[in-house]
Amino acid sequence: MKTTTLVWIVIIIIVIGGVLWVSTQNSPASNTGATTSNVFGSSTTSTSSQSNTSQQSSSSMIVPGSNDAPIVGDNLMLGTDQNSKLGTYLIGYTGMTLYTYAKDNVGTSTCYASCAQTWAPYVVSPSDRYNLQYGVNASKVGTITRADGTLQLTYSGHPLYFFSGDKTGSDFNGQGVGGVWYVIAP
Q: What is the pLDDT of residues 12-51, one digit of tens each?
A: 666 565 544 444 444 333 333 333 333 333 333 333 333 3
How is the chain split into domains, by residue range? 1-31, 33-183
Q: How far is CA 80 from CA 46, 107, 127, 169, in A?
A: 11, 22, 23, 11
Q: Taking a C-beta distance cutoff of 8 angstroms, is the pair 90, 160 a contact?
A: yes
Would you place residue 90 in the very low, low, confident or very high pLDDT band (cuts 50, 70, 90)? Answer: very high
Count the alpha carbons within 13 Å of 100 in the hemisphere toward its beta carbon.
Answer: 19
Tens digits of residue pLDDT in 54-89: 233 222 333 444 444 433 445 568 889 999 999 999
Q: If you average pLDDT over residues 91-119, what whole number do you get?
A: 94
Least confident of 32-41, 67-76, 112-121, 152-161: 32-41
Model's pTM, two decimal places? 0.62
pLDDT at 14: 66
